[in-house]
Chain A
Amino acid sequence: MKLDAVSPLCRYWLGVVGAAALIGMSGPAALAQDGVAALRIDATSSHDDKLEATLARCIANAFPPPPALGRDAQAAALRDALFPWFDPGVAPTTAAEVSALLEQRLVREQLNILGIRYLILFSGGTSSTSRTGDVGMLPYLGIWGSWSTDRSFRLATAIWDVKYRAAVGSGQLAWSESQEGVWLGLFPAFHSSSTESQVCEKIVELVRGAMRSEIEPGMAKVIKEIAPTQIAPATTAAHKWCNIESAGPDSRVWLTAEACELAREAGTKGFGSEPWCLADPQGNRPLCYYATYEACSAAKITQLYRCVPRE
């Protein structure tokens, strides 16, 4: 049958079906490689964390959930699959610990099998206030009253690229829920409002930004231009590493050739026990491991690089 013989409507229909088939063919491959999942590192429940459920909903609306985890209770299934490493009390609390965990062979293999490329790790806090309003009596109708509840949520998130074991994005999220209502006798009526949808948009934006970041294995990437005075010591690590922000994203940094040279000239100690400047076999970029805050300050280091592990 010639295509000309097919009516325009039918041709349109065939086109739609064909396109859908193509999307369907390419879909699973994308799923298997670039899955996104979220885990709360300060969760106090392995299976029933409300903040994890909220983030999972947000992510699932924008990115197809990894098939092995399912759409519901994603975090619970992932925590089971990675037992015991993300259970309450065992989960990593610093960027260095996350990095070390993602270096574990079995963890990497499991995440790969599950099709998770981006892991959103977050810690959260909640506060809630509840107020009882007026109470009164209405003739013939009985007792009436009013109440209101406000609950606010704050999350600190870091997006990790599992493939390169590197933090590729971070952000703070906050939203609130409120409920106001009145009751008359046994009949309550209430109104709820939430800013959750705005948070969903922000987390999706963060993940998309992380996915766009160009990471190449074995290459360093400038993450921030800084003045030495802006280098903040990491407070959670045993040592004070050269780092941006207080605890992340990496405890290991690559420095520019210039920075290494400055450090060498200054005779600065504190670049780790390894030979502290190594030539990159791919180029002439020296790299330093485990530079301390003091060493960076003394060397007047002005650029920090994210360490991207080689495969």
Chain B
Amino acid sequence: MWCRVPLIVGLTMLVTGCTSFVHGVTTPTLPVPLVQTIPLTVGVHYTPQFRDAQPAARRFVAGSEIVDVYQLGAPSVAVFDAALRQVFENVIEVTSWPPSDEPLKVAGVLIPAIPPNGVTVYLGQPRIAVEYRIGLYSSSGGEIGSWRVVGISGGFAGEMPALTTIPVWVSEALRSAAAGVVASFFREPQARAWLEANGVHPDALR
């Protein structure tokens, strides 16, 4: 299930010695989280940038630069959707943002984002980190807070990731990020304060 041969577009620039690969990423299956459902309705807005996110990471192998492009958009939407629907009682997708007329009937709106350098490859360890930023907004569009979630994955020290291994690691990192998203509502001070302001005590739900 984890192993899907990456989609290699294969843009090879022999003159510059730079090679680029585009990696498709498998959406991980998330287990049921060990938390009680948060009894709130939240909105989630996926920006076009998030839906089409393709962050790139550079690595050097035998003196040559390799640029890996990760097609993270669709799997990230799927992972966030699954994680939020498991955590909150009700999740409404907000298609246009900011809200135009009257405030949405939600406790808050979550807007995930992937930074341009959202994927980092550490070859020595070896490890892959996928970073997300979660923005939390009020129903009328005012910013409440934001926090960072980093998913990690990797292998043994000295193990050189093969081309087929990297997408598997990224998929594992997405699961780790999903775990971070779920845990963040119980750990991040801003998320906890927001829940408590809405009458929910996060410690009673885990």
| Total B residues in contact with A, Cβ cutoff 8 Å | 28
Stretch in contact with the other chain, from A84-92, A266-274, A293-301: A84-92
Which residues of chain A in 68-102 are interfacial with respect to chain B, using CB atoms and an 8 Å cutoff?
80-85, 87-90
> Of the candidates B34, B153, B158, B176, which one forms a contact with A85 in the assembled complex, judged by CB atoms under 8 Å apart?
B34
A114 to chain B, nearest CB (A): 11
A106 and chain B: residue at smallest CB distance: B34
Check A90/B31 contact, CB under 8 A, given A50-B156, A126-B158: no
In the assembled complex, A193 has its CB within 8 A of some CB on chain B: no
Chain A residues with CB below 8 A from B180, complex form: 84, 87, 89-90
> Of the candidates B30, B34, B176, which one forms a contact with A88 in the assembled complex, judged by CB atoms under 8 Å apart?
B176
> Of the candidates B34, B153, B178, which one forms a contact with A44 in the assembled complex, judged by CB atoms under 8 Å apart?
B153
Report Cα–Cα, A140/B183, bound state, in Å.
65
A100 to chain B, nearest CB (A): 10
In the assembled complex, B150 has its CB within 8 A of some CB on chain A: yes
- The answer to whether B31 touches A45, judged by C-beta atoms less than 8 angstroms apart, is no
Per-residue 0/1 for A273-289: is the Cβ within 8 Å of any B Cβ (1 yes, 0 no)?
A: 00000000000000000
Which residues of chain A in 97-129 are interfacial with respect to chain B, using CB atoms and an 8 Å cutoff?
104-107, 110, 125-129
- The answer to whether B36 touches A44, judged by C-beta atoms less than 8 angstroms apart, is no
- The answer to whether B31 touches A81, judged by C-beta atoms less than 8 angstroms apart, is yes
Name 18 extra pairs, CB < 8 A, besides A45-B153, A90-B180, A128-B158: A44-B154, A44-B155, A45-B172, A46-B175, A83-B30, A83-B33, A84-B179, A87-B175, A88-B179, A90-B176, A104-B206, A106-B35, A106-B206, A110-B34, A126-B156, A126-B157, A126-B158, A128-B156
Residues of B whose CB lies within 8 Å of any CB of A are 2, 30-36, 127, 150-158, 172, 175-180, 182-183, 206
A to B CB contacts below 8 Å, 24 in the list: A44-B155, A45-B153, A46-B175, A80-B31, A82-B34, A83-B31, A83-B33, A83-B182, A84-B179, A84-B182, A84-B183, A85-B34, A87-B175, A88-B152, A88-B176, A89-B176, A89-B180, A90-B180, A104-B206, A126-B156, A126-B158, A128-B157, A128-B158, A129-B158
